[in-house]
Amino acid sequence: MTTTLFPPSPTTLGIERQVAGNVRVIETISQCATALDAARAAGLSVGLVPTMGALHAGHCSLVERASAECDLVVVTVFVNPLQFGDPDDIARYPRTLESDVELAGTAGAGIVFAPPVKEMYPGFPAAVATTVSVAGLGDHWEGASRPGHFDGVSTVVAKLFAMSGRCRAYFGEKDFQQLAVVRRMVRDLSLPIEIIGCPTMRDEDGLALSSRNVRLSSDQRRVALVLSRSLRAGAALIARGEGRAQVIEDAMARVVAEEPSVDLDYAAVVHADDLRGVASIRPDVAIRLLIAATVGGVRLIDNLDPRAHSAERTPPPMSSATDPKGIS
């Protein structure tokens, strides 16, 4: 796939540039929308991969899948201030545009849309007058711990969808609640976007890939593995027939407690579609295990489809931390 359908014109110098690998970097909404409209007019399909940059192998897997399924792929790189409640958090978020462009191009992207904040929110830092809110889905779990976070996510994604037009949009399942919020927004607003959820990418030791991982020291990274261990412990209980959600959640929390430096926010069993809490597990209802915790001042999230996990692996031997007989 190539971007030669959209050669840069002399009038767009400063707002887009051609880089190695024939990837176009575009900084304005109008130029990006024009390029994607031209692609569709030429009979090409468009794939969109929204990111906040600091690309890693997980992002690249999304781009690779989009490239395999679409004729032109655009990767968006924008650290969205509306979804950060903590000024320190956004200030410390890694920004690596040069390497992001290189990785995106290698993975198959034809365009990188990397707008400045003023392009997305012209009046910023004044409050944005029009925002998008998905009631219910964004209110609990991450939404409860980070008030306004999903309003910020929904607003920026809606703007990106408005710019992109009809396309397929690729999101990782690692941010499972975000994926659910985006799917509901698209459905409720009848947007011409097909949402593609892609499996969480992990390092060999099980740690879910995240741009925030670069902020962990080697010791903190080792400690952070307790999140995936906790999820696997919950999945192992379910595989053995445990159907009481509270028992599973308590067992997951006890696994996390084995690492005293980890501050657990939640470990939950939820309905996979609307993220409502589950009291008991039924074989005909899809569920998801969610977890969030802070390690060394870095907030990390993870999740697992316990049935898919159990189908792929033989459950490990029962340990004292996950033995339901020891839970009252």
Q: Which residues are catalytic?
A: 59
Q: Considering only CA atoms, which of 161, 168, 201 is closest in space to residue 57?
A: 201
Contact 227, 256 (CB under 8 A): yes
- Cα 196 from Cα 183, distance rounded (Å): 9
**How do 298-304 and 72-77 pair as beta strands?**
unpaired
